[in-house]
Chain A
Amino acid sequence: MSTGRSAPANAPAIRMAGVVKTFGAVVANRDAALEVQQGEIHALVGENGAGKSTLMRVLAGLYAPDGGTVEVNGRDVTGWKTTNAIAAGVGMVHQHFMLVPTLTVAENVVLGMEPTKGITIDLQRAVLEVEALCKKCGLHVDARATIADLTVGEAQRVEILKALYRGARVLILDEPTAVLSPPEVQELWGVLRTLRADGGTVVLITHKLDEVIAVSDTITVMRAGATVSQFPTAGTTPRDIARAMVGRDVNLHLDAVGAVRTGEAHTPPGMSGRDPVLQVQNLRVRSDRGTMAVNDLSFDIRPGEIVGIAGVEGNGQTELLEAIAGLRRVEGGHVQLGAHALTTLSVRERADLGLSHIPEDRHRRGLVLDYSIADNLILGRQHHFASRGGLDRARIAANAVEQVERFDIRPPMAELPARALSGGNQQKIVIAREMGRAFHVLLAAQPTRGVDVGAIEFIHAQLRAARDAGKGILLVSADLPEVLALSDRIAVMYSGRFVTVLPASACTAELLGPFMTGAAA
């Protein structure tokens, strides 16, 4: 388009038009468009599978589009490579981190452009540079720590540092807050605003509409691979955005909170006095680093109760759930499901006793990505779908048809590998498998992480229905509003202990905040 060598002064930072991208039979983008002005924070929203991540990967040079044009600063860059994108100052922070786990923070940040001393890498300078960058942007992370030892939130900060270290002027963030605690989110907003004040441009993919309102200047909405609308944030309500995303009215978080507050008597009559379905006594569990991640923890869950654990990630929530599920060795203490002691049982025995588990990391634990939807729907229950050692393919297929229909997994093709689905639909596979069968206790870790509004509404409804049917649910979520909306009791976990346990009706984000940072412990 522009023939001039330098960019026109008033050219938008990003202009994408008519972008088409297909993967085999799956159309990820069709006629997708995006226009972002210099120095703005632009929110890209849409349901899972709407094609936001794909569009941004095209922009970052990870995918070559099958059609359409991409311009950065007025220059036609259609089909460029990541190296070109980085050189042009376009950096992307991915939803799934791309870090080398055995290297340190500083080594990861400088990877590919290491400062050198002669022919050796000057690691000392790398550390200093990274520390200076941290200070400048207000991102706090130990430059000498090894990635494998970081929490998810810290790892994400490293990803942002990586992009900034490469001189990114256009920063693309794919669902950055999914893994952050409220104070960390505020910190991130600070970083983004600093960037904007500095003339930088930010594209933010998110599902959380309050975030869109809080931080963005302009909003672009995508649906089914195409861009449906763009409007300024000022004067827009979350409800408007949700409607544009889904194409109909949706029941939002805020309403849900109201419903729970007023509907205090949701515990089915006769249930409240019953024995706990899950009891945890003096549980002690070590982290991978050998520290005591869960330290002498005791609590119980009654039938028809959701106990929510609030807290900054990395305070022992992961270890606690893994220990209850049988995935992590217990140092001491006792876990009991109904009348059954669990601590010595295998994962399978626990599942057969009625323990369901939605793991926090669906890509690592929750799904075998190369297995079909149908095969993933029996993971953990494969012994129930086999007779004399042979898999009962007919029953596996029937189960898939039923669950795909009931949990609205899209596309409804049970033979498709789970890898081919969007994040939200992948999570629906996990939810379908763990909640679509008989169970007594559900461990739900980050059940709506990286999932769109429509699916969040659905998953929350499932959790409430299970609670009302007398199940006990242990909910861990980095999303504080979610914990507030769903829980009957809320425990705040800090440094391996519950620093407080309160009835949800007494809780507000303001009240819980100090506990989460350990200030009120």
Chain B
Amino acid sequence: MSTGTLKSTRVWEAVLPALVALGLAAVLGDLLILSFGESPAAVWSLLVKGTWGNAYGVGQVLYKATTLTCTGLAFAMAGRAGLFNVGAEGQLAAGGFGAAVMGLLLPSSLPALLAVPVCLLAAMFVGGAVGALPGALRARFGASEVIVTIMLNFIVLALLNWIVSAKLHLPETLRTPDIAAGNVARLADVFAMFRGSAVNFTVLFAVAAAVASWWYLFRTRSGYELRAVGLQPDAAEYGGVKVPRVLLVSMVLSGALAGLGGVNFVLGYKGYYEEGFAGGAGFLGIAVALVGRNHPIGVLASALLFATLSQGGLAVNAVVPKQLTDILTAAVILSVATAVPEVQQQIRAAAASVTASLARKQPQGGES
């Protein structure tokens, strides 16, 4: 058996569960559509037409996939280090907020070539900072990142809401004033066919982030060490890796990736920060990463899938309730969670981390 066939076998094995999951979801969808007295073929074709059938639909799918790619990458980056980051929702919101504040602070005369990167960095910095806290608590005290990130979501979202409503909001709204500098151009500004859709050039940043994440994880020394920590922390420690440090770094990177996703809405779509814009995209990122098997390229594909389902729900809403696609999304997630051993393993590890930190008799500090 040559290396080539070994590789293609591995790719096939990785993709197969997602395809089976999709098949199962399709069958379930057929049944649901029939129960509404509609023809499955007609609804599916409506769904495809409303998403990939025209430039506006494609644009909307790409827009939704952009945020999901970022939060999916965020989860995958932590997941590769053996961590279960439930905090992408808060990190996403914080990233968007960071980008908005930076955009408001910068003079409007600043050229986009400078302003956009500065705002991107601000988003990643703030998202990374929100990720750093659970990372540090885990690295230093062994506190379960699952619990800390869940709780931190509430704190971060409440804090942002408070800041916006107390200091930054436009009267009578829950949003900041329009951002002067750093707005990301819509794709429609260049390609007229995307007119009306929210897709913007953040999509390129998301793709770049996926490629960079892949390169980092599989082609750099730090990525090698990060994955070793995720697979076997004892072996990593033996191999000279400073495990607590890697845990912290992975959470910072994870938060930064989620934070980048905030740019899509704030700078690319609306041009302002608005309370509640994250709208569950952070949590859906967990599913995106699990279906994409914590692989950056898989995350890209799976983000497109979930975005298609989400947009497709709107497209078929006239015939069947759009919650149809929510059910399909759930079906995909459940079948992948059932079928893929490493997903089960990850969920078990997360549960174990929670149990361990709850059952801890005495702190195990100072082991590094």
A contact set with B: CB distance below 8 Å: 24-25, 325, 327, 329, 346-348, 351, 357, 359, 364-371, 375, 379-380, 382-383, 385-386, 389-391, 393, 413, 415-416
Judge whether A383 and B235 touch: CB under 8 Å. Answer: no
> Could you say which residues of chain B place their CB within 8 Å of the CB of A365?
232, 234-235, 237-238
26 A-B residue pairings within 8 Å (CB atoms): A25-B1, A327-B238, A346-B240, A348-B240, A357-B238, A359-B238, A365-B235, A367-B232, A367-B235, A368-B232, A368-B236, A369-B232, A371-B231, A375-B224, A379-B228, A379-B238, A385-B221, A389-B220, A390-B220, A390-B221, A391-B220, A391-B224, A413-B1, A413-B6, A415-B7, A416-B6
- B 195-252 contacts with A by CB, 8 A: 219-225, 227-228, 231-232, 234-240, 242
B3 at the interface (CB under 8 A from A): yes
> Could you say which residues of chain B place their CB within 8 Å of the CB of A369?
231-232
Q: How far is the CA of A188 from the CA of B228 in the complex (A)?
A: 37
B367 at the interface (CB under 8 A from A): yes
Known pairs A365-B232, A415-B6 / 8 extra A-B pairs, C-beta < 8 Å: A368-B231, A368-B235, A368-B236, A382-B221, A385-B221, A386-B221, A413-B6, A416-B6
Q: How far is the CB of A13 from chain B (nearest CB, A)?
A: 35
Q: How far is the CA of A383 from the CA of B236 in the complex (A)?
A: 13
Q: How far is the CA of A184 from the CA of B240 in the complex (A)?
A: 35
Most buried by B among A366, A379, A413: A379
> Could you say which residues of chain B place their CB within 8 Å of the CB of A364?
232, 234-235
Judge whether A380 and B220 touch: CB under 8 Å. Answer: no
Q: How far is the CA of A383 from the CA of B240 in the complex (A)?
A: 10
Question: How many A-B contacts if CB must be within 8 Å?
Answer: 79
Q: How far is the CB of B225 from chain A (nearest CB, A)?
A: 7
Q: How far is the CB of A445 from chain B (nearest CB, A)?
A: 11
Q: How far is the CA of A415 from the CA of B367 in the complex (A)?
A: 34
> Could you say which residues of chain B place their CB within 8 Å of the CB of A370?
231
> Could you say which residues of chain A place their CB within 8 Å of the CB of B220?
386, 389-391
Q: How far is the CA of A229 from the CA of B223 in the complex (A)?
A: 49
Top 3 A-B pairs, shortest CB-CB distance: A348-B240, A386-B221, A379-B239
Interface residues contributed by chain B, number (CB under 8 Å): 26
> Could you say which residues of chain A place their CB within 8 Å of the CB of B234?
364-365
> Could you say which residues of chain A place their CB within 8 Å of the CB of B238?
325, 327, 347, 357, 359, 365-366, 379-380
> Could you say which residues of chain A place their CB within 8 Å of the CB of B224?
375, 382, 391
Most buried by B among A365, A366, A383, A385: A365
Using CB atoms, name the residue of chain A closest to B240: A348
Query: 0/1 per residue, B316-352, Cβ < 8 Å to A?
Result: 0000000000000000000000000000000000000
Instruction: Give the contacting residue for B228; candidates A368, A383, A386, A389; CB below 8 A.
Output: A368
Q: How far is the CB of B174 from chain A (nearest CB, A)?
A: 43
> Could you say which residues of chain A place their CB within 8 Å of the CB of B240?
346-348, 351, 380, 382-383
Q: How far is the CA of A391 from the CA of B366 in the complex (A)?
A: 31
Instruction: Give the contacting residue for A391; candidates B3, B221, B236, B237; CB below 8 A.
Output: B221
Q: How far is the CB of B232 from chain A (nearest CB, A)?
A: 5
> Could you say which residues of chain B place their CB within 8 Å of the CB of A371?
227-228, 231
Q: How far is the CA of A359 from the CA of B236 in the complex (A)?
A: 13
Using CB atoms, name the residue of chain A closest to B222: A389
Q: A371-B231, A375-B224, A386-B220 are in contact. Are A380 and B367 (CB under 8 A)?
A: no
Q: How far is the CA of A379 from the CA of B240 in the complex (A)?
A: 8
Q: A327-B237, A386-B221, A393-B219 are in contact. Are A346 and B6 (CB under 8 A)?
A: no
Q: How far is the CA of A364 from the CA of B235 in the complex (A)?
A: 6
Using CB atoms, name the residue of chain A closest to B364: A288
Judge whether A347 and B225 touch: CB under 8 Å. Answer: no
> Could you say which residues of chain A place their CB within 8 Å of the CB of B228?
368, 371, 379
